[in-house]
């Protein structure tokens, strides 16, 4: 019994640790990203916050570079539906993910 309680608090701690961790890992928005995306800094901030909060709920966060730009255009609408995002959040998260890709 004691061991079970320990396990439970441990997994709760791990869930709690996820968001602060991704605050650090998710690429920060730079002026170059804003320029490249053609979206505003505010839009990219919404996209980043949406990505951190929602895109690791069902699976590990998928890094922007793990999928090609062309594939993100296909994947994001489905994942936005999965996460019940608004159209504004969907647009912002796609702009953020693509702007923060390091290739190209």
Residue closer to ligand HEC (CB basis): 7 or 25:
25
Q: How far is the CB of 58 from ligand HEC (least distance, A)?
A: 3
Q: Please give the C-alpha separations between residue 102 and each of 32, 44, 78, in angstroms, as whole numbers.
A: 11, 16, 23
The two three-digit tokens of residue 73, written as one number: 């255009």
13-41: b (≥16 Cβ within 10 Å) or e: eeeeeeeeebeeebbebeeebbeebebee
Please tell me the count of residues contacting ligand HEC according to CB under 6 A: 14
Pick the binder of ligand HEC from 28, 68, 82, 88 (CB under 6 A): 82
Q: Which of residues 38-57 bind ligand HEC (CB under 6 A)?
A: 54-55, 57
Site residues (CB under 6 A) for ligand HEC?
A: 54-55, 57-59, 62, 67, 75, 78-80, 82-83, 93
């Amino acid at each position: 019994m004691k061991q079970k309680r320990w396990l439970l608090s441990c997994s709760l701690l791990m869930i709690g640790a996820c968001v602060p961790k991704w605050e650090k890992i998710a690429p920060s928005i730079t002026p170059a990203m804003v320029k490249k995306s053609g979206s505003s800094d505010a839009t990219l901030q919404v996209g980043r916050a949406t990505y951190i909060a929602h895109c690791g709920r069902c699976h590990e966060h998928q890094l922007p570079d793990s999928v090609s730009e062309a594939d993100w255009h296909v994947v994001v609408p489905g994942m936005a539906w999965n996460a019940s995002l608004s159209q504004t959040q969907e647009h912002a998260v796609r702009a953020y993910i693509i702007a923060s890709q390091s290739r190209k």
